A = this chain, B = another copy of it.
Amino acid sequence: MKCRVCGKQANIRLPQYNTALCSEDFTLFFEKRVATTIRKYRLIGEEEKTLVAVSGGKDSLSLWRLLNGLGISADGIYIDLGIHEYSRVSFEKTKAMAESLRRTLYSFSLPDAFTKGIKDLSGIMRRPPCSLCGMIKRYVMNRACIEHGYSVLATGHNLDDEASALLGNLLHWKEEYLWKKGVSLDAEGAHLARKVKPLFLCSEKETAAYAVMTGIDYVYEECPYSVGAKTLLYKGLLNRAEEESPTTKLVFMKGYLKRVRQGGLTKDEREPKSLCGACGYPSYAELCSFCRLMERFGTTDTLSFSIHTHSPS
């Protein structure tokens, strides 16, 4: 198998593009595609202050470095979920990337804020860890953007993440989530930053290959709670379909986005209408979910909410 570009030994086969590439040409190809995606879908404008949600995994670390490589000055934010060794190692790798990029890293620690990690909080609140974690991450990351003047939050969701979530939402016709699967969620008012997913056209296999080929030191383990049977099932089904027809995932996601743009899916009606009485951020109820958590477990009140800033040394 020869590299389509230089003719040397290829390192990765990309059936969805009917090609094979060597490490060097794949790296260039991958970076160019993310750059094109950002431009084509207008994910990040010129001079926009960008914050990257960093977990220490292959997707988010690759995204962070890649954005800076493309000339988009992006800082990072890390949420310490209090999952012992997993969280410690993830934070280490995230800090190392911040140092190497010489960018600011913000961090928020669940054990510091609530005296408990995600597992204990999830148990007490009788809410699945992924659901609680999602709520906390959305809140903290959005608030970090607003308070520190970032207009856009970039996350490392890849094609497999997006396509499998979309498949799950379609199989169950989850109207309230279907609409939210866009790759760019517009900012609303002064309290919500825009959210973008620059890797949404890159498969998991591709982002892993990119991280390995460019020598990114990332956490191999998946979060012990995040790997739900359903997510794995849907990723498996799509990979099976992809084997038969190597553009399945791309066609599925692009078709969906086209449909969303044409307004073919009805918009989520349940938009937050009010602002939280404690923190002033958007909320469905008088008090937002995060502030209710703060009220119950918080080590400080919600207004002295603490995000640490680690400036490059």
> Measuring CB to CB, which residues of chain A are less than 8 angstroms from any residue of chain B?
170-173, 175, 229-230, 233-234, 236-237, 240-241, 244-245, 248, 251-252, 255-256, 258-259, 262, 264-266
Contact = CB atoms under 8 A, between A and B. Distances in A.
Contact of A252 (B171, B240, B266): B171
A170 B230 CA distance: 19
19 contacts: A170-B170, A170-B252, A171-B248, A171-B251, A172-B251, A172-B255, A173-B255, A173-B259, A175-B259, A229-B244, A230-B245, A233-B240, A233-B241, A233-B244, A236-B240, A237-B237, A237-B240, A237-B241, A262-B266
B241 A171 contact: yes
Contacts of A259: 173, 175
Q: How would you classify the secondary structure of chain A's contact residues: helix, strand, loop or mixed? A: helix
A245 B167 CA distance: 14
The 7 closest A-B pairs by CB, nearest first: A173-B255, A237-B237, A171-B252, A264-B266, A233-B244, A170-B170, A173-B259
Nearest to A232: B244
A228 to B, nearest CB: 11
Given A265-B264, A266-B264, A173 B244 contact: no
A89 to B, nearest CB: 31
B256 A173 contact: yes
A251 to B, nearest CB: 6
A241 B237 CA distance: 8
Contacts of A171: 241, 248, 251-252
A170 to B, nearest CB: 6
A107 to B, nearest CB: 37
A252 B172 CA distance: 6
A259 B266 CA distance: 10
A14 B291 CA distance: 45
Contacts of A175: 259, 264
Given A173-B255, A240-B240, 16 more contacts: A170-B170, A170-B252, A171-B248, A171-B252, A173-B258, A173-B259, A230-B244, A233-B240, A233-B241, A233-B244, A234-B241, A236-B240, A237-B240, A237-B241, A264-B265, A264-B266
